[in-house]
Amino acid sequence: MMWKKLIIFVSIISLLFVAGCGVKDTIYHSAEKEKILQQVAKSDMSPEDRILLSKALLQEAFGGDKLEGKTIGAIVDEQKKLDLEKAKKEEEEKIAKAKLEKELAGYITVGVESKESHPKDIYSGIYSPYITMKVLIVNNSQKDIQGFKGYFTIRDIFNENIMKTNYSNDDGIKATANSTVYLSRDINQFMTEDKKLYNTDLSKLKFEWTTTAIVFTDGSSIGVNNNKL
């Protein structure tokens, strides 16, 4: 009788231990994936950890690190670490980008002086509507510029974004000089942002220019390959 009670006691302790470990101590095997996911669904694992597990499994399916033989807890912890590292890297890149844009901001001024919208004219070989813009470029620096690139952020009177559009120029511009260029853009009639740009008068649009790279005639540059030469 004593031995029987002892066996029952040990069995209960073992069950409690297993229950206490929870689903995070389950070892992942791809052959038992569905069964393990059902265990996770019935467990008290937090929603955050379930999302991390799902991300890890999805990444493995698309060629990421193999998870075979790892515990669910280890998989979750590793994915959490990867997410934190990614977030940290993105924040560092964001800060570096803002710092670079601030450094470049004073070199060049680019402003849109006029905008005209033109309808399509198939008889003249023009198969889509388009806009033309007169753009003034000013080199505010004391160095001759060989070329530069950046982008316009276009907003409406409510300061809501319409679109961003890239522009690059390799015509060169002398120190403290200015030049005028004429740009054109075809309009996609099936895109809301294109139609809004086409139909809105310049007086109701805001064009904000951001320089992302400059190459000077002396061979130096800023923002090229993310290095200041």
138/37 Cα distance (integer angstroms): 61
Q: Where are the domains of the chain?
A: 23-93, 105-222
- Residue partners of 31: CB distance under 8 A and separation at least 6: none
213/208 Cα distance (integer angstroms): 16
Q: Which residue has the tokens 């009177």?
A: 157
Segment 134-184, tens digit of pLDDT: 999 999 999 999 999 999 999 999 999 999 999 999 999 999 999 999 999
Phi, psi angles (nearest 5°) of residue 158: -95, 10
Instruction: Supply the CATH classification number for the domain 105-222.
Output: 2.60.40
Is 6 a residue whose pLDDT tops 80? no
pLDDT of residue 42: 87
Of residues 116, 196, 212, 124, the one with CA closest to residue 156:
196
Segment 113-129, tens digit of pLDDT: 999 999 998 888 889 99
pLDDT of residue 37: 87
For residues 137 and 214, the answer to whether their CB atoms sit within 8 Å is no
- Residue partners of 71: CB distance under 8 A and separation at least 6: 24, 25, 26, 27, 28
197/185 Cα distance (integer angstroms): 10
194/131 Cα distance (integer angstroms): 10
Q: How far is CA 117 from CA 51, 66, 93, 131, 202, in A?
A: 48, 55, 38, 4, 10
Segment 25-60, tens digit of pLDDT: 889 888 888 888 888 888 888 999 989 998 998 888
In degrees, to the nearest 5, what angle opens at C-alpha 54 toward C-alphas 48 and 59? 130
pLDDT of residue 226: 47
Mean pLDDT comparison of 43-52, 62-71, 204-213, highest-scoring range: 204-213
